[in-house]
Structure 1
Amino acid sequence: MIIKPMPGSLRAALAIIAGTSLAPAWGQTNEQAGAPLSSIAVNAAPALLPERNASATTDEQLPTVVVVARRRSERSQDVPTAISSVSGEQLEAQGIAEVQNFQQLLPSLNAAYGQARQSSLAIRGIGNNPANEGLEPSVGIYLDNVFLGRPGMAVQDLVDIEQVDLLRGPQGTLFGKNTTAGVLNIQSRAPSFATESKLEASYGARNSRILRGLWSGALSERWAGRIVLAKTDDEGWVSNLNGGGRLDSIDRYGLRGQLLYTGDGYKLRLIADYAEEQDSQGSAVISGAGPARPHFRDLSEVEAATGADLSPVNPDLRQTRIDGVQRMRSGQGGGSAQLDVDWGDFTLSSISAWRFWNFTPHNDADFTNAPILDDYGVSVRDRQWSQELRLASPSDGRLDYVLGAYWFHQAVRNHLHIDFGPQADAGLLPTETPLATAAGTVWLPINLADGGYQILSSALSDSYGKVLTDSGALFAQGNWKITEQLILTAGLRGTYEVKTGHAEREEPVAAVRWTVPPFSNVQNAQIGPWNSSDYGRLRLHELSPSQLLTLSWQPASAQLLYATISHGEKSGGFNVNGVGSGPALGIESLKVAPERSNNLELGYKSSWLGQRLRANFNLFDTRVSDYQASVNRTVSGQALPVQVLTNVGKLESRGVEWDLLTLLARGLVLSLNGSWNHAVYRSFDNAPCPAETNPEEPVSCSLSGQAVQGAPRWTVNSGLLYKADWRPELSQQFALNYAWRSAVNGSLDNSRYARIQAYGVLNASTTLQWTRAHDTLELSLWARNLLDQQYLLTAGAIVNAIYVGMPGTPRTLGATLRYRFP
């Protein structure tokens, strides 16, 4: 093959990109990566149901799903990997626009959600990592080909979406940052040259209101634009019994603007967006209260000692009783520039991106109406820059490949602020004084918790963390057609990362600043000044490889068998949630090693009955070493446990997944997907102990052989979608979705007090569509969580053997009026 000289269009395009500093937001269709630009169609991703003016063959078949799992446009059924896709039309029909609800449609996906910072995604039970700015997520989230450095960046209204793809298993060879569990790839709709406009208004229970607007169309012969606006409000569904009012309210808005330029042989897409949220999302309730450790008070004893009213402990009531502020603010945005150039038979792609994310919470963290922890929260300021270059070869030869380079820089800072109330000592400290000796901790008969010593009461403590990350990678993946039916795929990525960190706690503002032991020892351990720079440097530099080897065989045109061996890594990090275990265990205890996974997969994809039935199955066995987690450990002489970021040992996740889709009759589609997953700790001998073992006060417990936190054994998602044409200008669509998952351990210690019981969520809607000339009017009636299932999205432990959880959204009935016009 002769490489042609660089054409003038490429030189011009590179000149454009060299002067462009925009970066990501929402936006890149699945046709925009890899395929020659002459074949790229704007908004070409198919809907779940074919349009009525489609061809007769399409009307009698399931639509083709196009994905970019291998950085080029391919039919999903031809890609030898475990991937599930949801179209934007399906998301709209189900009324799903939040990332935590994607688990209702996609197999093996689990979302742990509190506030934006306390959110994480897990695939096959892997990825429930703690909220810590010094850690990378196990599940990579990509928005329009741009990696989101923090999971909280995906907590926004995801509207005007083209398609969502879930890739399960390590995906490091082709996606920007290494991942050990998989990738959630979100693609928004690109600008269209055909004019389209939409106004939408929704109203539902709890005075919930949704307003959205869209315009897209040609600005000139070469330029097209698209702008989307969204506003969401909800009064909340958690009742505060202390003074009334509701929590878990929603008040957010966002906007996104795009420009698309089409030249001779190249396309340039520019995106900018901004989103803001100010509400009480993340308000948790007490899900359980266990017996306290020796020398400490349990919940009822704390309430008696502080004069607090009894707190509701039943999460099904969706009630709390707090006296402090519960509020959060999140603002994010950025820009991206994607350039795709036809270079002869090759396609060259450049993606330049910049994003920011600011998060500020205020929480009453004691979950009572006593002034114990009046305000507790970690604010975040995150900035990231990335650049990716890819070269895709023609795909019609014996050998095709994608080559690329990737660069990522992230600067993230956080601020832990604690405002201790007047009753902090009674609510937090032990009833005797711990003293470290050579033989261990001894307890002196001095009651710190009676409030007379002012150890923590009325104090203010501020800690600051910082992590800088520079990551560079070279990657390649190719397909060798041994025969027309037998293909060998190999991928390799080498990533080199440098991280530096810093953790510091300032001198507290305290009612009494003790200098006399043992009171000074206890006070300094909890709020005393400490600076990591006084003890050395927090620095990591690592070379992380990712590999993939897949053999696929197509015995018939509509069948595919494949076997995959893959390896993925995510980098190590630092504990910068305050100063963590630094003062007690030294600066080295703030470091955590990389997390590594090896995956073996066998899969089968097939289409039957003239493309009316699609059936995909796969078996997987993933072994993870040095799984990253945050545990609380008791240190000799310490009054309260310290947070330690650690590698827990080994984890295994193995099971089976299925994804079925069938066209039962014209306009009637049934979907059924799910998984059976056996995710257990193979070795976790230094685990935190659950509250039920605290009376014996073991130093640590073993969770080896037990289920992984947040990993349901079973998940099942089913959906029914029907479209009926009553008259040429009048049609109606019915959508029904039921998502069920088995019980899981909510907290890392596997306590029964944080057990999330099995639950199922039923959503239903019907939409009446009336079309006249070029205008369309739609009226939708919908129900979210129709059966009013009471469930928790996440659960975890706090102090004094108290466990809290984030309740899911209750039944919400509403209506939407939508007007589409040129």
Structure 2
Amino acid sequence: MKNPSPRARLRRAALLAGTLLLAPTPALAQGAAVAPLAADAEAAADAGDAIVVTARNRDENINDVPIPISVLGGEAVASQRVFTLADLTQRAPGLTATTPNARRTGVSLRGIGKTSGNDNMEAAVGVIVDDVFLDHVGMTYQDFTDLAQVEVLRGPQGTLLGKNTSLGVIKYSSKAPSFTPEGSLELEGGLSVPSFKARASYSDALVDDVLAWRGSFSYDSQRGDIINVNPSFNNRFHERNRWAGRFQLLLKASDNLSFRLNVDGAETNENSNTKPFMIDPTTLADGSPRTGLSYTSRLARAYFGGYTPIIGSWTTIDMDQALPLITRNYGASLVTTWDAGPFEVKSISAIRKFHFDANNDSEQTRFAINRGGTLVDSEQLSEELRLSGKLGRTLDYQAGAYFFGIDTKTTSRTLYGADAGAFYATDAQYAALAANQLLLQNSLKNVRSTTFQNPVSTSQALFGQVNWSPVDRFTLTTGLRYTWEQKRSVTSKSASYADGTALVATGNSAADAIRASQLGASFTNVTGIPIHAGSVAWLVNPSFKVTPDLLLYASASGGGKSGAVAFDNTGLPRNVLPENTTDFELGFKAQLLDRKVNFSANLFYTKVRNYQATTSIADATSSTGYSSVLGNIPGIRAKGVEWEGSFTPAEGVNLNFAGTYNDALYTDWSTATCPRSYTAAVCNNTGRQIVGAPKWTLIFGFDVEREISGSGLTLHVFGNDTYRTAHNLEQLLSPYGWQKAYHITDAGIGVITKVGQVRTEFSIVAKNLFNTFYTTSVNDFSNNAPVGYDGIGPRRYVGALVRAKF
């Protein structure tokens, strides 16, 4: 028998692998990923041609999709340096994000959905990267490069795009492997601040028309813009020190069977997790004097030798205990696509791992008081099987099964230093021990407190979506998804010395009382109340193509996310109710002036019941007087209008604009805990604007490429400005939580030359050109800390960049 060719052997192996993959296995039965093999729509998206999106798990012209979508093409991502979630918020109306670190990352659309710092909590704005739904918010904390495009979908997407996407989806698509050689290289150096950044990618065939590969890599190092003035620990914070890499293989085993393997990794190791203290109030909101101990009064004690803490500075800090913050994101996925003619079958299998390790100087002084932070390790497995096709002339469909599982282990750690006793003591305790500083120090010196939680979640879903077109220009889209979820969790809390040995009483009642006030009660292996529940997501979405250049659409949809197994700070179970969302959209998409103008707008009304939020409650057992808990706000709603457009008056000239008016209110929060500056315990926040929701957001940008006559060079100029009105960023709407209105402006100028197949651009790029000082998160004051800005934005950066594509 004649030996088979290499191509035939590859195809035979692929067929066998596909058979094994499509067969259910115990490992894959734990979960699923989302989205299909992404089309590389970069050329269309950046050249002004028809933009292809995969919002509904298939390639479609954006002007034919009855969903409000913002799209940024790969070339714009690269040239305008839109690599992080924070960067993306300056390009998409209604999108905001808080990214002080991976664990505290929060993403919201229309002011709703932001989560922060609770590993039991799932996001309501889904993030999908190369077909895989990312469950833990920390998995989004990385630079996204070598992209084909980014799509931001507003409104519930739960019938097709996975669990917990009741408010919208951010969908990243990497460039796919190519069977023809292509590559890029970028080198960038900072002019305003020392930095070095590099990005590279390359793709080619390994076997012509059968096997192709693609590899990409990025590195980003930038000096911090917050100076630590402590001479014994002189370094900078708010820096960048990160890398990421991705490797892909695309195997076309036959004309109708393909496999795409995607392996990626990203790490950060940065002095970045700082929270500049801005004000330590001396009076309450009603003008009455503030009573009790404060951060300032504690540090005014004689023990600290007349030390003056830094309060009110955006640029300096004084501390000695913080360690670099470490984040690791790794994953792999395999997408199998079989086109059987009348229908297509797709299998998406994925695994992801997330690691986070924070050791912060909690009091931000040069004294050894408190180093705290959380250690998180999370692993998710996912599997999706999807069937799509047409039924006659008028119906096309998608249906499938989705399986998902995630296991997260989180350990909150506090290590007390020699100066902790002098800081945390009450006035009476301090007076009793002032003459015996050794005993004062031994009350907490080298004492370690840890709280462990292990939330585990699995889910299974069946879904389907149908497009019915009884006449040529009318389509009715309907969808339904049913999800079963199982959740459990255990928690423990313990205290010991740093070396693990058991605590020994000091023998002094005042010293022992200081220790007890900080440590609280220990508990072991408390099991939470498990959750076994089902939920429904639905969609009714009619659209009408009035002309080839005008689409009208409406939608009504519902969805939500499941409850959470949670605990209070004493270890008692405190479960969180499921969150339910109902949304209505009415919009149009139009092309005008011989398609030189694209304009879309939509009205939206979103209502959420039992909105899940990390908030604070008054707690007499806590040393701060408050405890942070995960709970439910009875009702919120957002209504308003969004618009986006672009104008191409001449070849190489593109203007874009976007905006949103968002009237986002608490419709039922009459029993909110009052912020610390109020004397009342309970506040009625009904009718107030939602935390983190600016009423107006306006975006304007331009991108111009024009040939310089007779030079063989092309001038490239671009800019983007984002404006947000004032909004409150503190979770209890503290008077100190307001971020005033601000602009963020990015810009660049350069020249492009092309020699053969190599296109090279030399440019100067600027981020936050006018050096706006702003924050995306505020922590209110307590009796241990001042008001802190937990999400300060990056300062002005100007860099020199060379980019080559070949």
TM-score, normalised relative to structure 2: 0.90
Moved more, 389-398 or 88-97: 389-398
Q: Is the 8 A contact 2:676 2:781 kept in 1?
A: no
CA distance in structure 2 between the partners assigned to 1:799 and 1:449 by the alignment: 28
* Aligned position for 2:310: 312
Q: Is the 8 A contact 2:37 2:335 kept in 1?
A: no
Displacement of 1:182: 0.9
* Aligned position for 2:595: 611
- Seen in structure 2, the aligned counterparts of structure 1 residues 779 and 135 have a Cα distance that, compared at 3 Å, is same
SS class of match (2:63): helix
Displacement of 1:733: 1.8
* Aligned position for 1:677: 662
CA distance in structure 2 between the partners assigned to 1:153 and 1:20 by the alignment: 27
- Seen in structure 2, the aligned counterparts of structure 1 residues 65 and 109 have a Cα distance that, compared at 3 Å, is same
* Aligned position for 2:383: 387
- Seen in structure 2, the aligned counterparts of structure 1 residues 31 and 45 have a Cα distance that, compared at 3 Å, is farther
1:399 maps to 2:434: no
Displacement of 1:523: 4.8
* Aligned position for 1:213: 200
* Aligned position for 1:329: 326
* Equivalences for residues 153-302 of structure 1 within 5 A: 153-204=139-190, 205-221=192-208, 222-243=210-231, 244-262=234-252, 263-291=254-282, 296-302=292-298
Q: Which amino acid aligns with 2:310?
A: P
SS class of match (1:724): strand
Displacement of 1:48: 4.3
Q: Which amino acid aligns with 2:476?
A: L
Displacement of 1:492: 0.6
- Seen in structure 2, the aligned counterparts of structure 1 residues 708 and 514 have a Cα distance that, compared at 3 Å, is farther
1:144 maps to 2:130: yes
* Equivalences for residues 362-761 of structure 1 within 5 A: 362-373=359-370, 375-394=371-390, 397-428=393-424, 430-431=426-427, 456=444, 458-509=446-497, 513=505, 523-524=515-516, 526-531=518-523, 533-534=525-526, 536-575=527-566, 580-583=568-571, 586-587=572-573, 589=574, 591-636=575-620, 639-640=623-624, 641-693=626-678, 696=679, 698-726=680-708, 729-761=712-744
Displacement of 1:456: 4.5
SS class of match (2:138): helix
CA deviations on 1:398-430 (whole Å, 9 max, x unpaired) are 111110110011011011110122333443455
Displacement of 1:532: 5.9
CA deviations on 1:198-229 (whole Å, 9 max, x unpaired) are 22210013211101221101111200100011
Displacement of 1:527: 1.8
- Seen in structure 2, the aligned counterparts of structure 1 residues 411 and 49 have a Cα distance that, compared at 3 Å, is closer
SS class of match (1:388): strand
Q: Which amino acid aligns with 1:647?
A: N
* Equivalences for residues 90-169 of structure 1 within 5 A: 90-169=76-155
Displacement of 1:387: 0.3
Displacement of 1:730: 2.9
- Seen in structure 2, the aligned counterparts of structure 1 residues 687 and 369 have a Cα distance that, compared at 3 Å, is farther
SS class of match (2:673): coil
Aligned to 1:361, which of 358, 361, 380? 358
CA deviations on 1:414-470 (whole Å, 9 max, x unpaired) are 11110122333443455479xxxxxxxxxx999999986665554211121101111
1:15 maps to 2:5: no
CA deviations on 1:165-204 (whole Å, 9 max, x unpaired) are 1111111110121322211111110011110122221001
Moved more, 678-687 or 660-669: 678-687
CA distance in structure 2 between the partners assigned to 1:112 and 1:650 by the alignment: 23
SS class of match (1:787): coil
- Seen in structure 2, the aligned counterparts of structure 1 residues 446 and 399 have a Cα distance that, compared at 3 Å, is farther
Q: Which runs of 5+ in 2 are unaligned?
A: 1-10, 285-289
Q: Is the 8 A contact 1:283 1:326 kept in 2?
A: no
Displacement of 1:298: 2.1
* Equivalences for residues 64-75 of structure 1 within 5 A: 64-75=50-61
Aligned to 1:352, which of 342, 349, 353? 349
CA deviations on 1:57-81 (whole Å, 9 max, x unpaired) are xxxxx32111111111111111111
Q: Which amino acid aligns with 2:243?
A: Y
TM-score, normalised relative to structure 1: 0.88
CA distance in structure 1 between the partners assigned to 2:424 and 2:668 by the alignment: 32
Q: Which amino acid aligns with 2:799?
A: G
CA distance in structure 2 between the partners assigned to 1:395 and 1:614 by the alignment: 33
Moved more, 501-510 or 232-241: 501-510
CA distance in structure 2 between the partners assigned to 1:491 and 1:521 by the alignment: 60
CA distance in structure 2 between the partners assigned to 1:164 and 1:300 by the alignment: 46
Q: Is the 8 A contact 1:13 1:266 kept in 2?
A: no
* Aligned position for 1:790: 773
Cα-Cα RMSD: 3.0
SS class of match (1:15): helix
Displacement of 1:386: 0.2
- Seen in structure 2, the aligned counterparts of structure 1 residues 401 and 278 have a Cα distance that, compared at 3 Å, is same
* Aligned position for 1:32: 37
CA distance in structure 1 between the partners assigned to 2:146 and 2:109 by the alignment: 25
Q: Which amino acid aligns with 2:248?
A: Q
SS class of match (2:213): strand
SS class of match (1:96): coil
Q: Is the 8 A contact 2:768 2:797 kept in 1?
A: yes
Displacement of 1:235: 1.0
CA distance in structure 1 between the partners assigned to 2:84 and 2:623 by the alignment: 40
SS class of match (2:67): coil
Displacement of 1:700: 3.1
- Seen in structure 2, the aligned counterparts of structure 1 residues 141 and 515 have a Cα distance that, compared at 3 Å, is farther
- Seen in structure 2, the aligned counterparts of structure 1 residues 387 and 177 have a Cα distance that, compared at 3 Å, is same
Q: Which amino acid aligns with 1:418?
A: T
SS class of match (1:104): coil
Aligned to 2:73, which of 61, 69, 87? 87
Moved more, 792-801 or 109-118: 792-801
- Seen in structure 2, the aligned counterparts of structure 1 residues 325 and 518 have a Cα distance that, compared at 3 Å, is closer
CA distance in structure 1 between the partners assigned to 2:506 and 2:622 by the alignment: 16
SS class of match (1:582): coil
- Seen in structure 2, the aligned counterparts of structure 1 residues 128 and 518 have a Cα distance that, compared at 3 Å, is farther
Displacement of 1:487: 1.7
- Seen in structure 2, the aligned counterparts of structure 1 residues 447 and 69 have a Cα distance that, compared at 3 Å, is farther
Q: Which amino acid aligns with 2:37?
A: Q
* Aligned position for 1:58: none
CA deviations on 1:528-578 (whole Å, 9 max, x unpaired) are 4533645x5431111011111112122222111111111111111133xxx
CA deviations on 1:489-510 (whole Å, 9 max, x unpaired) are 1111001110110111113338
- Seen in structure 2, the aligned counterparts of structure 1 residues 637 and 760 have a Cα distance that, compared at 3 Å, is closer
Q: Is the 8 A contact 2:408 2:456 kept in 1?
A: yes
- Seen in structure 2, the aligned counterparts of structure 1 residues 354 and 767 have a Cα distance that, compared at 3 Å, is same
Q: Which runs of 5+ in 1 are unaligned?
A: 1-6, 34-41, 51-61, 434-443
Q: Which amino acid aligns with 1:312?
A: I
CA distance in structure 2 between the partners assigned to 1:739 and 1:638 by the alignment: 40
CA deviations on 1:257-278 (whole Å, 9 max, x unpaired) are 1001112212211011111111
Moved more, 517-526 or 763-772: 517-526
Q: Is the 8 A contact 2:45 2:52 kept in 1?
A: no
CA deviations on 1:643-670 (whole Å, 9 max, x unpaired) are 3221122111111100111112221110
SS class of match (2:157): coil
- Seen in structure 2, the aligned counterparts of structure 1 residues 291 and 432 have a Cα distance that, compared at 3 Å, is farther
